[in-house]
Every structure is written in C-alpha cells, then in structure tokens.
Amino acid sequence: MSAYICSRKTFSNIISWYRAELTENSYVIGPLKELGYRTEEDIKKLWNDLGQANKKAVSHRYPDSGKVTYPRFTSLRALKSASSYVQVLKSMHCLLYQMSEGDVSNSNIFKALDTVSEKLASEIITASPEYCKAEWG
C-alpha cells in the first residue's frame, strides 16, 4: 500500500461540499458536526485537521521522507466546488485511503469521514434513476 498527500482539489471538493451541506443542515454530515465542525468558522479547522491526518498517515508510511506538508487552506472564496456528488465521494474515498496508514484509521476524524462517505454513497444511490425504477417488495 502506498500513501501520499492529497491534492488541493481533493480537499477543496470535500470542504466546498461540506460547506454547502452546512447550509442545508444535512443529516449526512452529522458525524463531522458531532466532532465540532458545525459552522462556516469551523471550515478551516476541518481542512487542517483532515490535512494533519493525511500528513500523519504519510509520515507513518514513509518515516524517512523528511518534512511532509499538505495544501494549506487559503480562504472560503478560494474553494472550488466539485462537479458532482460522485466526485465528492471519490475525493472522500481517496483521502480516506491515503489516511489509512498507522493509527490514523482509528482516529475520530477518520471514522467520522468514513461514516459521512457511506451516507453520501447511500444518498447518491437512492437518488439514481435506476434505484428509483427498481421494484420495491
């Protein structure tokens, strides 16, 4: 298994979606809200905490790699929205995979993001035309 620092676009996809979900008061993001990421003011902290977890996992995998950095949060205006919910989910899966080294996968932020990704996947599936057309019962 390899690990690397995710791109600014990956972080931005997740964070811009999360910001939009905050205004919708979505149940999907509940696990992260329970960790204290409840308002727009918490967006930078969420970005940095996810970045630190990514950094910790990479440093665990490659202990001799020297200084590891992740893309820094710049501003809410600089966030670029993902093209779709599927892209957000794929970005979450990428970050979760890159955070799965060492004990990071046992952290609260990893577990919360994993649960959020499962809820988002369910939302995507149940909103799909194929699911809507499928038989019930």
Distance CA 39, CA 80 (A): 18
**Average pLDDT, stretch 54-70?**
89
Q: Answer yes or no: pTM beyond 0.75.
A: yes
3-state secondary structure the chain: CCCCCCCHHHHHHHHHHHHHHHHHCCHHHHHHHHCCCCCHHHHHHHHHHHHHHHHHHHHHHCCCCCCCCCCCCCCCCCCCCCCCHHHHHHHHHHHHHHCCCCCHHHCHHHHHHHHHHHHHHHHHHHHCHHHHHCCCC
How many structural domains is the chain composed of? 1
Q: Residue 44 falls within a domain, yes or no?
A: yes
Distance of CA 8 to the CA centre of its chain: 12
Q: Residue 1 falls within a domain, yes or no?
A: no
Q: Does the pLDDT of residue 1 top 80, yes or no?
A: no
Q: Residue 119 falls within a domain, yes or no?
A: yes
Orientation angle between helical segments 8-24 and 43-61, nearest 10 degrees: 140
Q: Residue 18 falls within a domain, yes or no?
A: yes
Position 2 scores a pLDDT of 64
Contact criterion met (CB below 8 Å) for 31 and 115: yes
Q: Residue 2 falls within a domain, yes or no?
A: no
Distance CA 74, CA 52 (A): 16
Q: 27-55: per-residue pLDDT in tens? A: 999 999 999 999 999 999 999 999 999 99
Q: For the chain, what is the mean pLDDT?
A: 94
